[in-house]
Structure 1
Amino acid sequence: MAYSTFSIPKQVIHGNNALEFLSTLEGKRASIVTGGHSMKRFGFLDEAKTQLEKAGMEVQIIDGVEPDPSITTCKAGGAKMAEFQPDWIIALGGGSPMDAAKVMWVYYEHPGYDFMELVRFNFPPLRTKAKLICIPSTSGTASEITAFSVITDTDNHIKYPLVSPQIVPDVAILDDRIPAKMPPLITAQTGMDVMTHAIEAYVSTAADDYTDPLALHAIQLVFEYLETAVKEPTNMVARQKMHDASTMAGMAFSNCSLGIVHSMAHKIGGEFHLTHGEANALMLPYIIQFNKKATSKYARLEGILGIDNLEHAIWNLNARIGLTKTIQEGTNTVIKEKDFLAVLDRMSERAEADACTLTNPRKPSVEDIKNIYKAAYYGKDVNF
């Protein structure tokens, strides 16, 4: 039996006002990578900058990272860092700026590196110039804790999951105040991303005694606290529990990978810009139906949770937090039938080839994936 590894950031700083940790860093310069305007609007960007300045650092702001960050954005950010020469890279925001910062880091330390080598998981050595801190604004992607980054080829409409222990952040800072600013829809979408991470990690073919407890507890926390976090945005207990669940699920899946929920969500997200967490929420119950024929771990999970049917429990949770049961009835991203069918073959082929497919508990064919997509679009049970 081959040996396994378990990698997480060297430090996880968590709790109220955890941003203050930035004032303890040593270095001359820091680059903050962030997305749109929410971190600035809520004062967290300025607070992070102030804490870094207390540490005696000059601060560069690289903002405007788009949802589903592109290869172009990552290369441009790396070039800006190469001019500034930071000792620390600080990613502040949702999964997009954190994922982008990881790849900007590559292009800062290794300008001109072939992106397709990253797709093949051939990463160059990092930390020759800078270290990375990730500060999540959402309780969802867990990029602050993982060896993963998802980057989009906008020309070809492909999302690439990149994986390497080189891009596990050096420090994760979990400040409960930040996700408390998320609106209900984003709380729901990112919360179901946590659920999907945890369930896929639990049934992964690479799961082990280190990842299972983290995945299991994250699942329990999401079932218990997500609806409250969506409906009571200022409930700090629910916010803290969801933030912790996100990180624990990330610790699990970063070390045992995921499955075809993510493979399929990556591809439909790349085609239609369907929010990743919502794509996961839509696909997850149908893929549980598909996978149940290959593993007993869903039944074990149902026993632990005290429920009869996991996929029905997830559909019920989705309904309570404002997410639909099918792709066709989606209201947050409308995908017309003719558009869906036009790219179905391409999505299915690309999903089958996605890296996350390798650890799915049941090996799917391209035709299987196509039929699961159709089941999720039209709301049909997966019984093949």
Structure 2
Amino acid sequence: MSSFTLSTEIRFGKDALDSLAQYAGRRAFVVTDSFLATTDVFATLVRILGPHVTVFDQVLPNPTIALIGQGLAQYLQARPEVVVAYGGGSPIDAAKAMHKGALEAGLAAPEGLVVVPTTSGSGSEVTGFSVITDEATHAKIPMVSPDLLPKVAVLDARAVVGVPPRTTADSGMDVITHATEAYVATTASDFTDACAEKAAQLAFAHLTRCFTHGDDLEARTRMHSASTLAAIAFDNAGLGIVHSLAHALGGRFPVAHGRLNAILLPHVIAYNAERSEHAAAKYAWLGHLAGSSATGTRAGVVSCVARINKINAELGIGPGIKECGVDPADVRPHLDELARTAMADGCTATNPVVPTHTDLVALLRQIL
């Protein structure tokens, strides 16, 4: 038996942020980063929530165990009635981990966790995942629990209009990777496929427009929807070795997760398609959704890879780790360790092909 679950209420469309008025006047603990805390939209959010707001704005990229402990201490001191995460993947993941800690202590906010995403990428607003970095080992630790599912997700495109082009590119390729990996995952279903297909179609059509015309509210709205749909798909179906390898690399080298996904994705598609006819047929259909008129599975896979490579080029994402500012010579001594970390990653279990250690090392070598 399989199952499909969507526990988060999604509020979207014009002025969705105003729905936070239901929490006005209650004690709120807001988790964000230092930059987002200075923005006009954040000021609007705080104004809507009212006078009893405690702000934790010290979240950094790739939040660590120590940072979660620091935030949890302030959470418990504030004794909030609702927790609001405002940000991209890092603030949302941090807020989830803090809320989980408070829940285990029996002191969680009774109104639960509300998420307002400021990027169209991680999809954390509807998933039971949180990724925390162990500062001692540099490993990224994926946490998975129903307790990490937000109660409410607020999708308001005003929160993403000011996102810089580079962040738009990285987060947008994260969406495409989420949709693609969920679509071919071993536990994919008709329900997850429907979300993954629509997410991919929206992202293929609107991502580059968001990159070149960041103030296009319609394009931003569509990418916001794509991000959430892709997350619904992977939260139910799982991911694959693009994410496993990106988690391993991102834990050791300071490269945005979405950018790592972008450079790994074409190689993993080719690898999986060569070894799984089922995955190949699905990749070919994604190529069709991206606008290809190719006929036949092999041609469809080639068109899918070509479309992703084209989007990467349009977004200024180079084909290798060097273009991410990492010297390949610094990566080579760690290939075996990175492959072991990726093999143990939870995302590997739902990849359509069971990889070997040698396979993962080979894939890493391709991006050097």
Q: Which amino acid aligns with 1:51?
A: I
- Partner residue, 2:295: none
Secondary structure at the residue paired with 2:124? Answer: coil
**TM-aligned CA deviation for residue 335 of structure 1:** 1.2
- Partner residue, 1:160: 141
Post-superposition Cα deviations, 1:179-208, rounded to whole Å, max 9, x if no partner, equal 110011111110000000000011111110
Match of 1:34 among 13, 17, 32: 32
**Take 1:273 and 1:141, find their aligned partners in 2: how far apart are those partners?**
17
**Take 1:301 and 1:234, find their aligned partners in 2: how far apart are those partners?**
28
Counterparts in 2 of 1:126 and 1:8: CA distance versus 1, 3 Å: farther
Answer yes or no: is the 8 Å Cα contact 2:87–2:119 preserved in 1.
yes
- Partner residue, 2:320: 326
Match of 1:47 among 44, 48, 64: 44
- Partner residue, 2:367: 376
Number of aligned residue pairs: 355
Answer yes or no: is the 8 Å Cα contact 2:85–2:114 preserved in 1.
yes
Match of 2:217 among 209, 223, 236: 236
- Partner residue, 1:98: 92
- Partner residue, 2:297: none
**TM-aligned CA deviation for residue 304 of structure 1:** 4.4
**Take 2:7 and 2:194, find their aligned partners in 1: how far apart are those partners?**
15
**Take 1:177 and 1:241, find their aligned partners in 2: how far apart are those partners?**
12
Post-superposition Cα deviations, 1:65-120, rounded to whole Å, max 9, x if no partner, equal 00001111112111111111111110001110000000001222334xxxxxxxxx
- Partner residue, 1:297: 282
Answer yes or no: is the 8 Å Cα contact 2:204–2:290 preserved in 1.
no
Matches within 5 A, 1:256-275: 256-275=237-256
**Take 2:2 and 2:173, find their aligned partners in 1: how far apart are those partners?**
31
Answer yes or no: is the 8 Å Cα contact 1:91–1:135 preserved in 2.
yes
1:252 maps to 2:233: yes
- Partner residue, 2:11: 13
- Partner residue, 2:78: 84
Q: Which amino acid aligns with 1:8?
A: S
Secondary structure at the residue paired with 2:10? Answer: strand
- Partner residue, 2:347: 356
**Take 1:14 and 1:306, find their aligned partners in 2: how far apart are those partners?**
27
Answer yes or no: is the 8 Å Cα contact 1:133–1:172 preserved in 2.
yes
Q: Which amino acid aligns with 1:369?
A: L
Answer yes or no: is the 8 Å Cα contact 2:4–2:191 preserved in 1.
no
Q: Which runs of 5+ in 1 are unaligned?
A: 112-124, 378-384
Answer yes or no: is the 8 Å Cα contact 2:321–2:327 preserved in 1.
no
Answer yes or no: is the 8 Å Cα contact 2:200–2:289 preserved in 1.
no
Answer yes or no: is the 8 Å Cα contact 2:26–2:49 preserved in 1.
no
Secondary structure at the residue paired with 1:180? Answer: coil
Secondary structure at the residue paired with 2:333? Answer: helix
- Partner residue, 1:185: 166
Q: Which runs of 5+ in 2 are unaligned?
A: 293-299
Match of 1:316 among 310, 314, 317: 310
Answer yes or no: is the 8 Å Cα contact 1:27–1:88 preserved in 2.
no
What TM-score results when the alignment is normalised by the length of structure 2?
A: 0.93
Secondary structure at the residue paired with 2:132? Answer: strand
Greater fraction helix: 2
Q: Which amino acid aligns with 2:319?
A: K
Answer yes or no: is the 8 Å Cα contact 2:241–2:351 preserved in 1.
yes
**Take 1:212 and 1:32, find their aligned partners in 2: how far apart are those partners?**
34
**Take 1:303 and 1:128, find their aligned partners in 2: how far apart are those partners?**
46
Matches within 5 A, 1:136-215: 136-215=117-196
**Take 1:35 and 1:106, find their aligned partners in 2: how far apart are those partners?**
19
**TM-aligned CA deviation for residue 306 of structure 1:** 4.4
Match of 2:61 among 59, 63, 67: 67
Answer yes or no: is the 8 Å Cα contact 1:204–1:256 preserved in 2.
yes
**TM-aligned CA deviation for residue 129 of structure 1:** 4.0
**TM-aligned CA deviation for residue 346 of structure 1:** 0.8
**Take 2:109 and 2:61, find their aligned partners in 1: how far apart are those partners?**
29
Post-superposition Cα deviations, 1:317-359, rounded to whole Å, max 9, x if no partner, equal 100111111123x1xx311122101211111100011000000
Answer yes or no: is the 8 Å Cα contact 1:106–1:126 preserved in 2.
no
**TM-aligned CA deviation for residue 299 of structure 1:** 2.4
Matches within 5 A, 1:106-125: 106-111=100-105
Q: Which amino acid aligns with 1:198?
A: A
What TM-score results when the alignment is normalised by the length of structure 1?
A: 0.89
**Take 1:24 and 1:237, find their aligned partners in 2: how far apart are those partners?**
26
Secondary structure at the residue paired with 1:90? Answer: strand
Match of 2:260 among 276, 279, 301: 279
